[in-house]
Amino acid sequence: MSERRRVEICIISDIHLGTRASHAAELNKYLKSIEPIVLIINGDWLDIWNFAAGYFPQEHIENIFLILDLARQGIPVYYLTGNHDDHMRNFSGYKFDTIQLRDEIILEVDGKKHWIFHGDKYDLSVGGSARWLAKLGGRTYDKIFQFNRFINKIRMRYGKDNILISKYIKDKVKSVVKKRVQDFEDVAIEIGIEEGFDYVICGHIHKPQIREVVSGKGKTVYMNSGDWMENLTALEYNNGDWELFYYQHDLQFKGIDRS
């Protein structure tokens, strides 16, 4: 069995424990493969909006205990709240051993200022009067995912590749929403540049990316940690560089076996 990889900073987000779309088992395998110096959970770890579904399997429970165990080892764990676990914002600032509950954090890493937060505060489609619609959409998406999994089981019997009905529908819905609301990425990036942040790091939209943005007011690097529902990605910082980790490719490529 290979050794754990040392990761100076690991950022994961949008795990959505409590939903059938969550790939908690894969995330558990990933966490067992690394030795983080700092772990940041950037929102939507628990999907409190969907707890009424009565679904919380063993691998979801294991994920919580894995992260608690990292904290028990003395590893700083920052749990930043998102919109699906926004009830936790009532406890923002709470610290239990090395776990810190925050709405956002600012870290200085190798002389660079990093602004890290979930991102929903700048997304008009999940706030105010649109909140109830966003909650309904989350529960509907979970049902679509169940149907998607059933269809793929049938396709596998006939030797056909999996299809992502849930992702297709979600992308279509988000493309319509983007036409009507202000893009939270642009707002966050603009504020980040004005405040002098070298990096703006979000989750929320399940779109992993790293890109430099230059405007008339300055520049910043925008990063998104993706999710553990569709993309299965994380942000990793090592030796002065940020990289996106893709579970489906990188876990096998790096020769990691953490069953």
**One-letter amino acid of 229:** M
**pLDDT tens-digit readout, 204-243:** 988 999 999 999 999 999 999 999 998 999 999 999 999 9
The pLDDT of residue 139 is 54
**One-letter amino acid of 34:** I
Contact 244, 11 (CB under 8 A): no
The pLDDT of residue 6 is 97
The phi and psi torsions of 93 (rounded to 5 degrees) equal: 100, -10
Q: Is the dihedral of CA 235, 26, 94, 71 positive or negative?
A: negative
**pLDDT tens-digit readout, 173-194:** 555 445 433 477 888 999 999 9
Average pLDDT over residues 101-117: 97
The pLDDT of residue 146 is 64
Q: How many CB atoms lie within 10 A of CB 238?
A: 14
The pLDDT of residue 153 is 74
> How many whole angstroms separate alpha carbon 156 and alpha carbon 177?
33
Grouping H, G, I as helix, E, B as strand and the rest as coil, residue 248 is helix
Rg of the chain over Cα atoms, rounded to whole angstroms, equals: 18
Q: Bigger pLDDT: 33 or 129?
A: 33
The pLDDT of residue 127 is 53
Single out the residue of 201, 206, 203, 204 nearest to residue 237, CA to CA. Answer: 201
> How many whole angstroms separate alpha carbon 109 and alpha carbon 178?
33
Residues in the chain: 259
**pLDDT tens-digit readout, 3-59:** 899 999 999 999 999 998 899 999 999 999 999 999 999 999 999 887 766 789 999
**What stretches of the chain show up as alpha helix (H) in DSSP?**
24-33, 58-72, 131-157, 165-180, 184-194, 247-253
Domains of the chain: 5-253 (3.60.21.10)
The pLDDT of residue 212 is 97
Contact 93, 102 (CB under 8 A): yes
The pLDDT of residue 159 is 78
The pLDDT of residue 160 is 75
At residue 136 the predicted structure's pLDDT band, cuts being 50, 70 and 90, is very low
The pLDDT of residue 231 is 93
Would the pLDDT of 133 be above 90?
Answer: no
Would the pLDDT of 164 be above 70?
Answer: no
- The CA dihedral of 174, 104, 96, 85, to the nearest 10 degrees, is -20
Q: How many CB atoms lie within 10 A of CB 24?
A: 23
Single out the residue of 22, 21, 26, 12 nearest to residue 79, CA to CA. Answer: 12
Would the pLDDT of 104 be above 80?
Answer: yes
Q: How many helices (H) and strands (E) does the chain have?
A: 6, 12
**pLDDT tens-digit readout, 45-100:** 999 887 766 789 999 999 999 999 999 999 999 999 999 898 899 999 999 888 99
**Alpha carbon 3 to chain centroid distance?**
25
Contact 144, 166 (CB under 8 A): yes
